[in-house]
Structure 1
Amino acid sequence: MKRIETYKHIAIIQTAFLGDVALSLYLTQKIRNIHPNSEITFVTTPSGSPLVACSTAVDNVITYDKRGLQTGLRGIKFISSLLKDKKVDCIISPHKSLRSTLLTFITKPEFSVSFYRSALSVVYSKRIKYFEHQHEIERNISLMNAFSDYTVSDIPTVELEFDEDDISYIDYKLYGTGIREDEKIVLVAPGSIWKTKRWGELYYARLCNLLKDLKCKVILIGSKDDWELCSGISVNSGAFNWAGETSIPKTLVLMKKSSLTITNDSSPTHFAGLVGCPVITIFGPTSPKFGFAPRGEKSKVIELHNLKCKPCTIHGSHTCPIKTHDCMIHINPKTVFEQALELLNL
């Protein structure tokens, strides 16, 4: 095996969901810590690019619009040409898709590594075993076992840097909302692209009311697509609806100023982890054993354990396979509230 220090320019490919991108930043930080003189390029999606740009470990971000302008083989060849122009000599791909494998194959770096379970994994110079019940952060970092100068060590803290404009935006918005610096802010992110992973709107509203009774300032966050959902919760609870009003970097800044984030099994779980914000994650059809639980001492997982139908999927779906959605409707708002009390020290 070669040392990672052999390679001057390393590219990381991760074009999956936002949560996957967030969890790949620990691998990126590990590479930077071990090989501080390397140049690191990160290939990701249009939605993932602003997140990756916050990482001080990344030198270059290549935005790969795989479902838009750069779809198909032509898109793969275009991104490959960018990597070749940068003289990338090593590719590390935590993403297991065929598209990522083809991108690696066409780029032809001196060395490449991914998982045995990756599509057409024989393309890679080195393959690493994928442990299904290992945490995703550790799975990604396990790709470093392809290099002789890697030794197992603690999970690194991801170093992030934010634009002053993003910091000022959040400060001004909090001030304009009447939220003081000494008040506890609780963020609630109720959205998910998979409908079965969403806890009920009225349940979230009830939870927000309980939190407001403690004099917490509750802010609903999410993308523009979550605005209608958050609006319904806001109407029934009086929580502030900021859905669609904060970019990912701004959301991270807001999380740094918050006392707690409450969310479904979705990307805000991992955003909170990046900045050290305590988090409660509600798991319905999925399970933390797949490797996507929140990390850190100040995190809680809430799920039901007595359902034969759970977990039914690794990602979630748009409808419950047995039409009951028992995994979510039987999680009581008071249960979540009690866990919140512990993390808020109230």
Structure 2
Amino acid sequence: MKILIWQTAYLGDVVLATPLIQTLKKNFPDAKIGFVGRPFIKELFKDEEVELIPYSKKFKESFTVIRKIKNYDVVISPHRSMRTALILFFSGIKERIGFDRSDLPFLYTKLVPHRWELHEVDRNLELLKPLGVKEFIRETKLKMKEEEYRKILNKFNLKEKKYIVISPFSNFPLKEWSLKNWKELVRKLNTPVVITGTKEDEERSKEIDGKNVVNLVGKTSLREFMGVLKGAKFAISNDSSAVHVANAFRVPALTIYTATSPKYGFYPLIGEYIQNPAPCSPCSPNPKKCKTGTKECLYFPEPDYVLEKAIPYIKDL
């Protein structure tokens, strides 16, 4: 049997789909597993034994993907877009399992209730129940060989479990706790801190400085980002991928929520979170516009409260 997983969302969403891979391997050891995702999956799943099918969502590329996946017997789709539903339908894959809140749900052969009250991992695993799966692996998991991992730590002169990672940025600005608060938190942490982010965040990241700060914003590849998080003692982040990458290497993380909320199911599996106290929060899972125009939630909670939550994880640093 050939089973395909389709998750073309952001990095964090893909990491949270890794229990699907592990659960399918356990329950169907003779099956061939495939994964369709954005091009970064080639790096993310470099050491994973699955067929990787990168897809950058370009129109003409959709026809190529249809040809590549048409020989699969089953497809599991946590992704709920109209484009996904259409591609999977035209692929001709006999069994197409998706959520009842997906766009064009009638194009799936089996629908599973989508429930916000579940963690995303548990929500995704529900999609396997139509296949008769009863034994689930809930842990997220990313793989990295020891040699590669050590090279990354050496490249950035980092000592294993002797630093924490701060991830202040997001694809959605309304998920970002204010830079002023991040700066104050870093100043009070009094422990080695590594800041991560993309090239687009590089200029803003310069506002967060200090004698114990290593700024790697815009300086790491995806694999290096993974290695830096794997070596960390702890991670503090907005509601973003750093939390889930850290957890996938068994590193605890603290999520600071602003316009989003743990009720959507993207909180750390290892660690904890701080729900935003602003009366208008949350907005939506991926907020694009402040519903009050104040952006009040970006300034809460206070840095001292975040520090209090972090101390138990870093007291021996």
- TM-score bracket relative to the smaller structure: over 0.9
RMSD: 1.9
Partner of 1:29: 22
Q: 2:69 aligns with which of 74, 79, 83?
A: 83
SS at match of 1:232: coil
Answer yes or no: is the 8 Å Cα contact 1:77–1:106 preserved in 2.
no
SS at match of 2:207: helix
- Percent of pairs with identical residues: 29
**C-alpha displacement of 1:169:** 3.3
Structure 1 residues 138 and 116: CA distance shift in structure 2, 3 A = same
Structure 1 residues 324 and 261: CA distance shift in structure 2, 3 A = same
Residue deviations 1:16-41 (CA, integer Å, cap 9, x gap): 11111111111111111111221111
**C-alpha displacement of 1:230:** 1.6
**Comparing 200-209 with 247-256, which one deviates more in the overlay?**
247-256
SS at match of 1:184: coil
The unaligned stretches of length 5 or more in structure 2 are none
Number of equivalent positions: 316
1:61 aligns with 2:31: no
**C-alpha displacement of 1:232:** 1.9
CA distance in 1, matches of 2:227, 2:72: 32
Residue deviations 1:241-282 (CA, integer Å, cap 9, x gap): 101222222222222211111100111111111111110100
Superposed, 1:1-346 pairs within 5 Å as 8-54=1-47, 56=48, 58-66=49-57, 71-72=58-59, 74-84=60-70, 87-148=71-132, 150-156=133-139, 158=141, 160-162=143-145, 164=147, 166-175=148-157, 179-181=158-160, 184-211=162-189, 213=190, 216-234=191-209, 239-296=213-270, 299-305=271-277, 307-317=278-288, 319-346=289-316
CA distance in 1, matches of 2:216, 2:224: 11
Write out the 4+ residue segments of structure 1 that deviate beyond 6 Å after TM superposition. none
Answer yes or no: is the 8 Å Cα contact 2:12–2:242 preserved in 1.
yes
**Comparing 238-247 with 138-147, which one deviates more in the overlay?**
238-247
Answer yes or no: is the 8 Å Cα contact 2:177–2:300 preserved in 1.
no
The unaligned stretches of length 5 or more in structure 1 are 1-7
TM-score with structure 1 length normalisation? 0.86
* Paired letter, 1:200: S
CA distance in 2, matches of 1:31, 1:52: 16
CA distance in 2, matches of 1:287, 1:237: 33
**C-alpha displacement of 1:316:** 2.2
**C-alpha displacement of 1:238:** 5.5
SS at match of 2:206: helix
